[in-house]
Amino acid sequence: MKEYKISHLVKSEDLNHHGTLFAGRTAEWLVEAAFIAAAATHGRPQDVLCVNVHGFTFKKPVQKGDILTIHSRIVKTGNTSLMVHVKALCEIDTGQNVEGFVTFVCVEPDTKKKRLHGIVLDEPENEEEATLRERALKVM
């Protein structure tokens, strides 16, 4: 599946009391990136609704002035649901900082009843994508 990327400059207003990127801001950015992958793939953003954020793992703090690039791609589909893997990487102080999964469901915009999305996963492009799909199967 297509990988989407968005980048954010970490500014003073994004920091916590330790002087590093606030986890709440990070979560906001991760969910936004996941939504972009789900909505762009589905083609109808008004149908896509976030229903679960699956335990983000924070591996390394992010400093003010760093550029955080968030990669997102759909890794699991149900009839009405889409699970997206997100990972955030610093561009200056390189390495993976945060990762996790976010689940969306497709709904009718007016009634909020679940709606079939018709998205079928393609073949994994590489070993990393295949591993992410296997991990997604174990996420509750």
Closest of 37, 34, 35, 30 to residue 57, by C-alpha: 30
Whether 55 has a pLDDT exceeding 90, the answer reads no
pLDDT exceeding 70 applies to what percent of the chain?
100
Confidence label for 92 from pLDDT (cuts 50, 70 and 90): confident
- Please give the mean pLDDT across all residues of the chain: 95
d(CA 8, CA 26): 10
Rounded CA-CA distance 73/38 in Å is 8
Alpha carbon 12 to chain centroid, angstroms: 23
Task: Please tell me the pTM assigned to this model.
Answer: 0.94
In this prediction, residue 96 carries a pLDDT of 80
CB 82 within 8 A of CB 39: no
> pLDDT by residue (tens digit) across 81-91?
999 999 999 99
More confident of the two residues 31 and 93: 31
Task: Return the higher-pLDDT residue of 95 and 122.
Answer: 122
Higher pLDDT, 93 or 43: 43
CA atoms of 83 and 73, how far apart (whole Å): 8
The single residue listed with the structure tokens 């990127």 is 21
21-42 as b/e, with b when 16 or more CB fall inside 10 Å? bbeebbbebbbbbbbbbbbebb
Whether 134 has a pLDDT exceeding 90, the answer reads yes
CA Rg value for the chain: 15
